[in-house]
Structure 1
Amino acid sequence: MNSLAKFGQREHYIFPGQLQNISTTASVGERADVSSLYEDYLAYWQDQPLPAGQVVLIALPNSPDLLAMFAAVLNSGYVPALIAPTTPGERVAQMIVDFAAGALIRSAAQHTTWTGYGVSQAAELGRWQVGHVANAPLPLTQAGQVVIATSGTSRAFSSGCVHWFSSLQTNALRHARSIGLTRADRILVNLPMYYSTALVAQTIAALELGAHLVISGPPFLVPTYLEDLREHHITASSVTPVLLRQLNAHPQPFAPCLRLLTVGGDQAAPAEVSQCLASHPGLELYLTYGISEAGPRVSTCAAHRVSPQRLGSVGLPLDGTQVMLLRPGEDSLEGELLVSSDTLLTRKIGQDSHTPIIELQGKRWLKTGDIFSQDHEGYLYFKGRNSDFIVIRDEKVNLGAIKQLCKRVPGVLACRTEVVREASTLAGFQLELTVDRDVVREHQGDHFKTRLLKQLKHYERPLAIALLHRDAQSMTNHK
């Protein structure tokens, strides 16, 4: 039995009483008692022989089960690492190795699926299964820590950022203060909880404040989302820029109960921000920025209070957070953003596990890999990822800016770039655009590409453009 007392750790990182103010939407399909689920899961995990600090991968959909499982694993002295339940099997197997995981929790699967993970047996735990890894290596992490898997902006899919849970609590409360979130709010979590926006800025914030948490989840459907706001009297919600565009295109307004909306996960186009504000007078709209690879919130812009010129900004740093720009030269107006805070990750694990922490001016700074400019009042403006800047035939090309331009084109849901090399020479890049098939018909592809190319300078044009036609209402576009 893994007794926390034996390891001198806290008895609770999440107190059972914090799990009592939670409900779900109809789309989640259950009305479970989170406290009861938590007690069942806690009894199981406290009886496991894993060493304290061992990573447990949790591949469950948004649900009360997910939150109860997260709390039970954490409070049992293990390290929860949330991953998408749709993660391909080969990637799961790789993450088990790279994270030195001792167990995996997922929906029921055939024996062959578990053996494909390198897991020989699976036990039933409620409506889920737990597979224990035979001969798991010693932990890379410690009790009281959480692993947040890196997002698509990372160079490697099988890597994660290790945070102390206490630092996530601190960051959640600082973010809550920056947007005026209170105990009286009813917070809708519809973004995937395996990303930091939903896990830290919404879920942990709600637990710490004692606010009511309403759990929904992907896929994102505008009519369902709007109905959830109204039916559950939601006062606070969060969306990505892609979802904001879908909401702007829908004629039905938000329910009057919605007091504040935050936008994060990527840069929102100023025109979309302006349209949302114009369509919903009195709405508090906040633009937020978090460290791209897997970090909690860094800055907030109160879009409803700033001048139109600042609608392209991600605002000012949170309390307790300092920033500086690492400019390539004295005359440069842009540079890589460095962040100093007591809520930074402690280290990275897995592939691409180099932790981008440097010591400068007697402080610990994290190199974000994001390029920013900053105005005279301290407002931050995102320009792209460091890796987005390439040189093609002596011309500096900002792939991040090109992706943002593409996302502003009607019908574009997502954009991806791929650098092309010939031998040791950079030949250029290719564009892959996911488009709404109701806006960009398949027979209009060539005309659409031509119109897009006309908006780019000659040296900015891709070698090829691939169009993926999808149904926007069924897509889940979350960072």
Structure 2
Amino acid sequence: MGSAGTVAELVQRQWGDHRPGLRSEDTVLSHHQVASGAAARAALLADLLPAGSEPHLGVLLDNTPEFALWLSAAALAGVAVAGINPTRRGAELARDILHIDCRVLVTERAHLSLLDGLDLPGVRVLVTDTDAYTELLAPYAGAKPGDTVLAEVGPGTRMLLYFTSGSTGAPKAAICSQGRLAAAGRSLVDHFGVRREDVHYICMPMFHGNAVIADWAPALVGGAAVALCRRFSASGFLDDVRAHGATYFTYVGRAVQYLLATPERPDDREHSLRLGFGTEAGAVDAARFRERFGVRLVEGYGSSEGGAAIQRTPDTPERAIGKAASRDDLAVVDPETGEERAAAVFDESGRLTNGADAIGELVNRGRTPFEGYWRNAAAEADRVHGGWYWTGDLFFRDADGFLYFAGRTDDRLRVDSENLAAAVIENILARWQDAAAVAVYAVPDPVAGDQVMAALAMREGTAFDPSAFAAFLGAQTDLGTKMAPRFVRIVPAMPVTATNKVHRVGLRREGFWCGGSVWWNGARGGYEAFGEEQLEALLGEFKAHGRDGLLPSISPMA
């Protein structure tokens, strides 16, 4: 089988292949039926998109067969798909939809309430699980792949517009072409030996790049089947894997921890899975996962925009991500000066001892496949400048060249696999009438990624009321499900730099075990005082997961 340069070619190859190709709950479609359904939707899209409009499609769906069918349809038609995040709310959700210039938005009844009251001029909404949708699609049932092409399809044709957060606050839509997506799938097929008889289990949300680029694309390239889980469920994971005969899955953030938290069963190893690929599981949980389920987890790193990637080799240390393909390409530098940071030094227990000198921003000084952001030249200039691609991620590098992930830069957070921008959360918290000043920043999560911490300076004559603050958060319709602060620090005055900017570096360095008044949303729900007892338990979690090296080396609650 020759190498395909576009996703459209890969979809066309499915025509005539009557092996099972798409599984979801009780639905099983052959590869041929997927290609046929995609062709029908491509033809419908051609009639729905107004002449002269951007060839863009918005998809606000859970992981349903319709999501996969519309991905394939868009590839055939030369249209780009923008996955819309259903955890966004109100004006922020409307902004995402309008920003990508889509005239057609595909959704389902489960998400219709999110669109209530939103002003979406010129956007046609299709609701997949309705009779009206079935009737609308029926006349196109005889379409074949290649019948309908809205724009000339080549390797450079836009395929994905996927949102990623940034320092400006508003999410940016990163561009991924058909050629890059096909190449990414081909790389994973070669790396993991994807076979035609494999079944790729997609349990991460398909509006994220992870599920499409690292799970759907290699299945398409390798001729493997895809099994969809509407939403990730730790309790239902193994039963679903068994039902579909899944052999491969991807994960992000805390998904692995959620699986490990399920009750152990005698049949935990009775399944077909052979590999999991993802980010942020951590070496400790990856080892526990393999011991319990008999499945190898491969940790990787690739920036959402495609600008940098790290390869894991057999000799990679347990807590490292891997190495760059060429040491000269990726570097860890001081974000202010661009000078390379010192090599990491570890003590006998493996703790990083020179974090202040070793941790810096990861940059790509070589050729980058980054293809830009949709209508955001300022963000592109911030991402690529001085001839380098700046990832916005913090790393350190040991003397042998292995790279270790250390977190996000100050105004970015990654919470439970969601990329968030501090400015967006600050704008929401600033509405609280009792707050005189607000700063939001990341503190490490004991398992993976970050947690949200907010510093609040109270208005004169007011005191922090945890119940009132929780009620305020609950009333904010645009506060996404991952945005609520886990920690709240009350400061007498907001610390600022000489230029009168909030001194986030200092706040982040002090973290959640700073002196003063700290509250947290603990296991019992609601905000409660964060004291010595809570701190000791949390530090135990960090140590158990091998992430205590990310904590500041200062005395607790000084």
TM-score between both structures, scaled by the size of structure 2 = 0.63
- Which residue does 2:476 correspond to in 1? none
Conservation of the 8 A alpha-carbon contact between 1:187 and 1:206: yes
- Which residue does 1:403 correspond to in 2? 444
- Which residue does 2:51 correspond to in 1? 50
Within-5 A mapping of 1:68-83: 68-83=69-84
- Which residue does 1:312 correspond to in 2? 319
Inter-CA distance 120–259: structure 2 relative to 1 (3 Å threshold): closer
Q: What is the CA–CA distance in structure 1 between the aligned matches of 2:291 and 2:324, rounded to whole Å? A: 26
Alpha-carbon deviation of 1:91? 2.5
Conservation of the 8 A alpha-carbon contact between 1:144 and 1:164: yes
Conservation of the 8 A alpha-carbon contact between 1:238 and 1:263: yes
* Range with greater deviation from structure 2 (81-90 or 148-157): 148-157
Inter-CA distance 383–36: structure 2 relative to 1 (3 Å threshold): same
Q: What is the CA–CA distance in structure 2 between the aligned matches of 1:155 and 1:461, rounded to whole Å? A: 33
1:261 pairs with 276, 290, 299, which one? 276
Q: What is the CA–CA distance in structure 1 between the aligned matches of 2:199 and 2:529, rounded to whole Å? A: 46
Alpha-carbon deviation of 1:215? 1.5
Which structure shows the higher strand fraction? 1
Inter-CA distance 215–311: structure 2 relative to 1 (3 Å threshold): same
Give % identity: 17
* Partner SS state of residue 72, structure 2: helix
Alpha-carbon deviation of 1:89? 4.2
Alpha-carbon deviation of 1:346? 1.3
- Which residue does 1:235 correspond to in 2? 247
* Range with greater deviation from structure 2 (171-180 or 317-326): 317-326
Q: What is the CA–CA distance in structure 2 between the aligned matches of 1:358 and 1:319, rounded to whole Å? A: 19
2:524 pairs with 441, 444, 452, which one? 441
* Partner SS state of residue 103, structure 2: strand
* Partner SS state of residue 347, structure 1: coil
Alpha-carbon deviation of 1:341? 7.0
Conservation of the 8 A alpha-carbon contact between 1:167 and 1:342: no
Q: What is the CA–CA distance in structure 2 between the aligned matches of 1:53 and 1:90, rounded to whole Å? A: 22
2:12 pairs with 6, 16, 22, which one? 16
Inter-CA distance 97–25: structure 2 relative to 1 (3 Å threshold): closer
- Which residue does 1:204 correspond to in 2? 217
Please report the RMSD computed on the Cα atoms of aligned residues, expressed in angstroms. Answer: 4.3
- Which residue does 2:395 correspond to in 1? 372
Unaligned 5+ residue runs, structure 2? 135-150, 343-356, 413-440, 457-493, 513-518, 540-550
Q: What is the CA–CA distance in structure 2 between the aligned matches of 1:233 and 1:321, rounded to whole Å? A: 42
Alpha-carbon deviation of 1:289? 1.2
- Which residue does 1:116 correspond to in 2? 119
- The one-letter amino acid of 1:177's match is D
- Higher Cα Rg: structure 1 or 2? 2
- Which residue does 1:466 correspond to in 2? none
Alpha-carbon deviation of 1:232? 1.7
- Which residue does 1:475 correspond to in 2? none
Within-5 A mapping of 1:61-460: 61-107=62-108, 109=112, 113=116, 116-119=119-122, 122=125, 127=130, 144-152=157-165, 155-218=168-231, 220-250=232-262, 251-252=264-265, 253-264=268-279, 267-281=280-294, 283-291=295-303, 293-295=304-306, 298-301=309-312, 305-306=314-315, 310-317=317-324, 322-327=329-334, 328=337, 329=339, 331=342, 332-339=357-364, 344-349=369-374, 353-355=378-380, 356-358=382-384, 365-387=388-410, 402-405=443-446, 407=447, 415-418=451-454, 421=494, 424=500, 425-426=502-503, 428=507, 440-442=523-525, 445-446=528-529, 450-452=533-535, 455=539
Conservation of the 8 A alpha-carbon contact between 2:59 and 2:83: yes
Inter-CA distance 246–222: structure 2 relative to 1 (3 Å threshold): same
* Partner SS state of residue 312, structure 2: strand
Inter-CA distance 240–111: structure 2 relative to 1 (3 Å threshold): closer
Q: After superposition, what is the alpha-carbon deviation per residue over 1:368-424, rounded to whole angstroms, capped at 9, x for unaligned?
A: 0112122344321011222269xxxxxxxxx76x4134x47xxxx972134664673
Inter-CA distance 93–322: structure 2 relative to 1 (3 Å threshold): same
Conservation of the 8 A alpha-carbon contact between 2:521 and 2:528: no
Unaligned 5+ residue runs, structure 1? 1-8, 131-138, 390-398, 464-479
Inter-CA distance 89–129: structure 2 relative to 1 (3 Å threshold): farther
TM-score between both structures, scaled by the size of structure 1 = 0.72
Q: After superposition, what is the alpha-carbon deviation per residue over 1:257-292, rounded to whole angstroms, capped at 9, x for unaligned?
A: 21111232xx333322232233245x322011121x
Alpha-carbon deviation of 1:13? 5.0
* Partner SS state of residue 372, structure 1: strand
- The one-letter amino acid of 1:166's match is G
Alpha-carbon deviation of 1:300? 4.0
Conservation of the 8 A alpha-carbon contact between 1:372 and 1:384: yes
Q: What is the CA–CA distance in structure 2 between the aligned matches of 1:10 and 1:182, rounded to whole Å? A: 20
Q: What is the CA–CA distance in structure 2 between the aligned matches of 1:311 and 1:417, rounded to whole Å? A: 29
